[in-house]
């Protein structure tokens, strides 16, 4: 199998072996098995550990070679040296491995030497590999979860359309936890760490053709083969939006990346150019990437950059308008014909401009009236901001806006800033599938991605 061979089986495995399985809750492998079982993986699970005959009701094997079945994924949760030992033994039935173990290239010369040997063995035995020094796969389609972090500590997001590719495991954990906490989902998350074999290009090739994936989010410390990446990314962009965050842009970050996954970051400008060439939407920060994921779960890219803002809090409308202009989006005035109509249908207190300010006297239907009269023509995207202080605003506004969003076919983003009460009210939108953002800045970051990125 060549480097370009497909890696599809990682995302629809029939059988998973867990090398180093353990009944000891302090071991990483214990958590991995726990998560695999919790996730409801429907294929075969084979624990492997010469010290046990059974773990959690599953027959335990001494070596992977002993398993009389093809192993699609063998998860290695053992010491770095043991990984090499086992792979040097009989592993003909293993198709792919996920090596979560650290202690390779990221720790210095000795580890690097081990990683070189690992690569040789894998190539010789034609085994595809993710890692080492990674978390592996969290997949809401195939119900695979190889992450060695308890779901008590890092929540798992529900099923949705965005797939996330990342070198950094902590980044994967952070974004999954926050997405889950904000009611957002994911399709597949892949943390490939040191990338001894499988890298972002392999994954992009797979995700391009993956129907479950509506959009792709990339966290990049380094890219090995630039030309291949450009081809894979361009191919993927033809099919679905791809957003990327490049980290290790400047010297201190680059230094850290090298100790982290052994990555050589290279000149940032080269990445910037490659992203542009491939049609990737570049984001500048973790928060932008997270906001991008949330919004791309629900909406395809917008057709233009003209944003309609509707709010019940004047100051927030102004902040949203400022942030839009700052990001290169347009906030065009409402056409005079629409203003005339709207003035008839909205009470006198409302400010009929863009941003439309429905003020604290707002009622649910005012939001719908404003959307109906203004959004259909002249705008590509709407940001609808709700403060929940106004006494006549009710939870029913969420379904009403959802119904309108369904009928109009253009993206509508909700901004619901504030604390406990607002978050709960905001969850009404999440429940009907409309993405919610908790600050003006966050809503505009998401809108900017939908409009194809900053100016």
**Beta strand segments in 20-91, E:** 44-48, 54-55, 58-59, 71-76
**Per CB under 8 A, which of residues 169..208 are in contact with a second copy?**
169-171, 173-174, 177-178, 180-181
- Which of the ranges 54-62, 197-205, 275-283, 311-319 carries the binding residues for a second copy, by CB under 8 A? 311-319
Q: Which is nearer to a second copy, 124 or 153 (CB)?
A: 153
Residue selected from 339, 422, 452, 454 as contacting a second copy according to rule CB under 8 A: 422
Distance (Å) of CA 168 to CA 149, 165, 173:
14, 9, 9
7-28 as b/e: b if 16+ CB within 10 A: beebbebebbbbbbbbbeeebb
Stretch 50-89 residues interacting with a second copy (CB under 8 A): none
Which of the stretches 10-18, 42-50, 327-335, 396-404 binds a second copy when contact is defined by CB under 8 A? 327-335
Q: Per rule CB under 8 A, is residue 266 in the interface with a second copy?
A: no
**Does 267 sit near a second copy (CB under 8 A)?**
no
- What phi and psi, each to the nearest 5 degrees, are found at residue 162? -95, 130
SS3 content of the chain, % helix, strand, coil (to 5): 40, 20, 40
Which of the stretches 119-127, 274-282, 285-293, 399-407 binds a second copy when contact is defined by CB under 8 A? Answer: 285-293
**Closest distance of CB 93 from a second copy, Å:** 31
The residues in 342-381 that bind a second copy, with binding defined as CB under 8 A, are 348-349, 351, 353-355, 357, 359-360
What is the rounded distance in angstroms from the CA atom of residue 185 to the CA atom of residue 188? 10
| Using rule CB under 8 A, residue 154 touches a second copy | yes
Look up residue 183 and give its two tokens: 């009611």
The CA R_g of the chain, rounded to the nearest whole Å, is 25
* 222 binding a second copy? (CB under 8 A): no
Residue 417 as a binder of a second copy (CB under 8 A): the answer is: yes
Separation between Cα atoms, residue 165 and residue 153, nearest integer Å: 21
Within 13 Å of residue 242, how many CA atoms lie on the same side as its CB?
A: 30
When binding is defined by CB under 8 A, the residue of 387, 398, 446, 450 that contacts a second copy is 387
Q: Under rule CB under 8 A, how many of the chain's residues touch a second copy?
A: 86
315 lies in the binding site for a second copy (CB under 8 A)? yes
**For a second copy, which is the closer residue by CB, 272 or 287?**
287
């Amino acid at each position: 199998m060549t480097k370009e061979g497909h890696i599809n089986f990682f995302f629809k495995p029939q059988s998973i072996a867990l090398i180093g399985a353990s009944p000891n809750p302090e071991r990483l492998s214990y958590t991995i098995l726990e998560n695999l079982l919790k996730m409801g993986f429907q294929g075969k699970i084979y624990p492997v550990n010469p010290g046990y005959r059974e773990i959690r009701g599953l027959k335990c094997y001494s070596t992977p070679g002993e398993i009389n079945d093809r192993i699609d994924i063998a998860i290695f949760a053992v010491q770095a040296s043991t990984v090499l030992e086992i792979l040097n033994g009989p592993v003909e039935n293993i198709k792919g491995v996920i090596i979560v173990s650290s202690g390779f290239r990221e720790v210095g010369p000795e580890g690097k030497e081990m990683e070189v040997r690992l690569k040789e063995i894998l190539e010789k035995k034609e085994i595809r590999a993710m890692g080492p020094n990674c978390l592996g796969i969290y997949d809401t389609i195939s119900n695979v979860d190889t992450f060695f972090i308890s779901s008590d500590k890092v929540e798992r997001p529900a099923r949705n359309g965005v797939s996330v590719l990342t070198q950094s495991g902590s980044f994967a954990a952070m974004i999954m936890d926050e997405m889950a906490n904000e009611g957002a989902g994911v399709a597949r998350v892949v943390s490939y760490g040191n990338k001894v074999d499988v890298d972002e290009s392999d994954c992009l090739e797979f995700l391009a053709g993956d129907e479950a994936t509506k959009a792709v989010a990339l966290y990049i410390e380094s890219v090995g083969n630039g030309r291949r990446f450009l081809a894979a990314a361009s191919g993927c962009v033809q099919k679905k939006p791809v957003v990327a965050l490049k980290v290790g842009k400047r010297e201190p970050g680059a230094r850290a990346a090298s100790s982290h996954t052994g990555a050589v970051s290279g000149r940032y400008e080269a990445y910037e150019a490659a992203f542009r060439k491939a049609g990737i939407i570049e984001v500048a920060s973790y928060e932008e990437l997270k906001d991008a994921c949330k919004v791309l779960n629900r909406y395809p890219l917008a057709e233009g950059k003209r944003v309609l803002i509707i709010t019940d809090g004047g100051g927030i409308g102004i902040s949203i308008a400022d942030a839009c202009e700052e990001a290169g989006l347009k906030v065009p005035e409402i056409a005079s014909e629409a203003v005339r109509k709207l003035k008839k249908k909205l009470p006198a207190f409302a400010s009929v401009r863009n941003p439309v300010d429905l003020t604290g006297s707002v009622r649910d239907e005012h939001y719908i009236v404003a959307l109906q009269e203004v959004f259909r023509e002249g705008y590509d995207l709407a940001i609808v901001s709700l403060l929940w202080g106004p006494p006549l605003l009710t939870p029913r506004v969420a379904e009403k806006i959802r119904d309108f969003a369904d009928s109009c076919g253009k993206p509508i983003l909700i901004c619901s800033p504030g604390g406990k009460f607002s978050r709960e009210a905001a969850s009404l939108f999440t429940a009907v599938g409309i993405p919610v953002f908790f600050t003006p800045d966050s809503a505009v970051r998401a809108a900017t991605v939908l409009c194809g990125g900053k100016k």
